Each structure stands twice: as C-alpha cells, then as structure tokens.
Structure 1
Amino acid sequence: MPADRRDLLRDAAIEVLAGSGSRGLTHRAVDEAARVPSGTAKNYFPSREALLRAVAERCVELYRAAGERLAARRPPRDRAQLTAFLAGLLHDAAGPGRDRLLAYQELQAESSRRPWLSAVLDPVAAADFPAFEQAQRAAGLPATAERAAVVTLALHAALPHLLSAGPATLAASGLDDPERFVRALLDTVYPHRP
C-alpha cells in the first residue's frame, strides 16, 4: 500500500477513536471511515495491536509536525505573546485538533493496560516540558524547570475538560475563556512584581 493510503487508514483510525473510543476501533470501522474495501486495514495492520501501534505512531507524527510548525514561528517575546500562544493551543485542542487529541487520550487510557503503547506515546507529552519551558524563558518570565512544569501540567490537565466541553466545568475552571485561563495560570506561577 502506498504511504498515502497507509496514512489514509491511520487518519481514519484517529477519526474512529475520536468518534467511537477504543472499543470502537476495529478494522471494519477503519475501512468504513477510510472508504476502502473491506479487509484493507486488516491487510496492513493484521492485529488489534498493530492497528493501535499504527494509530499511535500517526498521532506522534502529527504532533511532531505541529511542533515543527510552531518552532518555525518566532518565539513569544513577552507575557502577552506567550498568553496568546498558549491560548491558541487550547483553542486548537477544542477546535481543529480535537479529533487528534481525543484519539490521543483514548490511546493514553489504553496504554495503562499496554506498556508498549505508553512507550510509543511518552515522547509526545515529554516533549512539551522543555518546549514550554523555552517559550516561558523567551517571553522573559523567570522560568525554572519546576515553574515551567506547573504551567505545562496545568495545560495538559485542561485538555480533557476542553474535549468534553461540559459548560459548568469550563466555567468553574475558567476554560470557557482560554485567554483568561492562561493569564490567570501565568499570573499564579509568575506573579507580577510591583
């Protein structure tokens, strides 16, 4: 199968995971989502484990591609730019990146029962820590590894709530306004000095 057809199947698997969860991830469901003949996914990913690995690897590839696009942009030079940058990531999680993140969260849950899957996914979350620390330093904040980790963990913790979009939870956490959420987070970790 050409690489683009393989990617088509892996992207369809992301769609299935996002829409139906881990239990809905079947070869047949992937074939249907990709609009390919029945049995195509099974030919290239013969077992459920192979299918899970393929979709996890695709999530990692998409994450790295997004990271490369972000790295190509000028780093935030101040608190306001950092706020806009981080809020933009949260908007993406609730919007265009929603399916990829839903699939990733399903894979994370599955990895609690399959350690090999955790090894595939771990570089994605781990890469955020140095990248976000670097962004905080570039913005002129007095970042330490610990402070930067608090910001990163808070952003990671926000994702399931953004994805489930419960209005009461979004309002209670401040995530109904991602810019305000990020401003409050940064003000808590890096209080303004008089």
Structure 2
Amino acid sequence: MVRRNPERRAALVDAAIEVLAKEGARGLTFRAVDIEAAVPPGTASNYFANRDDLLTQAGARVYERLQPDEETIARQRASTPDRETYAVLMREVVGRVSAFRTGYLALLELRLEATRRPKLRAVLTERVRADIEANMAYHEESGLPGDATAVKLLYLAFNWLIVEQLTLPEVLSEEERERLVTAAVERIVQP
C-alpha cells in the first residue's frame, strides 16, 4: 500500500539521497532508507512501489533541491545581461551545486546505475534534457551573450568541475574554481 503523507515521503527520499551518497546504489535498500530517516522498519516499502521507484524519485528530488530560490532568480533577472553577469551566475550555480554535496554524489550514483537500468536511464535522460533546454530558454529570455552551444559547453565543463570539487577537493582550491568559472565564461561566451 502506497502512503500519501507528502512530508514523510520527502523525508524518505531525502534519506535515500543520503544513502546513495554514502553507500552507493548497491547500498540503497528500503531498510537503509528507514534507518537514515529514523523511521520504523518497513516505512519506506509502504511509500515506494519498488527500488526503481525510489531511485527515480531520489533523482527528481536532487534536481528539485538544486533549484535557485526566488531571491537569487530575481537578482539575476535584475542584472545587466553581459559576460560579467554571466560569470556571476555561473559561479553561483557551481557554488550552489557544490554545496549540496550529497545530492550531487547521489546523482552521480544514479547516473552510473542508469547504465544498467533502462527505465532509470530514460527518466534521467528526460530530466537532464529538460534541464538543458530550460537553461537554454532562460539564457535566451535573459538576453545574456552567447548561444546555445555556449550554454551546452559551460554545462559540460562545469559538471566536471563540480565532480572534481566533490570527489577530489584538494586538486583545485575554491579560489581556483572561481577563476576557472570566470575564464570559461570569458573564453566560451562571445560578446
């Protein structure tokens, strides 16, 4: 029986994200989620039809939690649409994603698991494609310089920069990360 308490469901999905980040996809079990969420045994199995359902919802939740808040969006929209503003925006995105370490690590685990689970791969492909399209639409709507190719190149470059920061944080300092983000925008985005 699937339960309908949305707060409990969100807490369980957040616990699944933590388990994915700590233990990897193989460690993601209903029992591990129950323990992480500090709920009675069997709770997660009452909320999710199966493990694939839990994996899929964990991926969706990571993207949900990575969205900027309204204040950040308003500040970005009020800024002058130039390369300097673009660099500020990209530093904010890289910082926000890097700050949600367990979420991004869980997303990496989900991506690896998607290579073995076609259903999960389809869901993640759709989600990532929609995210890229939303970024390109925002870019166009905001009047920022550059084109769709620049948006995609920055997406690819910054994803790996974030992986580097989260998995091997001693390779690049935060100051280097900030300089690299600015340099990437300056070199990829044509005025």
TM-score (norm 2): 0.82
Counterpart check, 1:36 vs 2:35: no
2-side partners of 1:128 and 1:45: how far apart?
A: 25
1-side partners of 2:162 and 2:128: how far apart?
A: 12
Match of residue 188 from structure 2: 189
- How far the C-alpha of 1:161 sits from its partner, in A, is 0.9
- How far the C-alpha of 1:43 sits from its partner, in A, is 2.2
Counterpart check, 1:80 vs 2:79: no
**1:6-155 pair list within 5 angstroms:** 6-63=9-66, 66=67, 69=70, 71-75=73-77, 76-77=79-80, 78-95=82-99, 97-134=100-137, 136=139, 138=142, 140-141=144-145, 143-155=146-158
Match of residue 164 from structure 2: 161
2-side partners of 1:129 and 1:34: how far apart?
A: 32
Structure 1: gaps of 5 or more residues: none
Count how many residue pairs are aligned between Structure 1 and Structure 2.
184
Q: Is contact 1:9-1:41 (8 Å) kept?
A: yes
2-side partners of 1:134 and 1:184: how far apart?
A: 23
Q: Is contact 1:22-1:110 (8 Å) kept?
A: yes
Q: Is contact 2:87-2:181 (8 Å) kept?
A: yes
- How far the C-alpha of 1:139 sits from its partner, in A, is 5.7
- How far the C-alpha of 1:56 sits from its partner, in A, is 2.5
TM-score (norm 1): 0.81
Structure 2: gaps of 5 or more residues: none
Q: Which amino acid aligns with 1:120?
A: V
2-side partners of 1:145 and 1:191: how far apart?
A: 12
Q: Is contact 2:33-2:44 (8 Å) kept?
A: yes
Q: Is contact 1:10-1:54 (8 Å) kept?
A: yes
- How far the C-alpha of 1:179 sits from its partner, in A, is 2.2
1-side partners of 2:51 and 2:131: how far apart?
A: 29
- How far the C-alpha of 1:71 sits from its partner, in A, is 4.6
- How far the C-alpha of 1:112 sits from its partner, in A, is 0.7
- Partner of 1:36, secondary structure, is coil
Q: Which amino acid aligns with 2:87?
A: T
1-side partners of 2:43 and 2:127: how far apart?
A: 28
Measured at CA, do residues 60 and 136 of structure 1 come closer, stay the same or move farther in structure 2, by a change above 3 Å?
A: closer
Q: Which amino acid aligns with 2:39?
A: V
Q: Which amino acid aligns with 1:178?
A: R
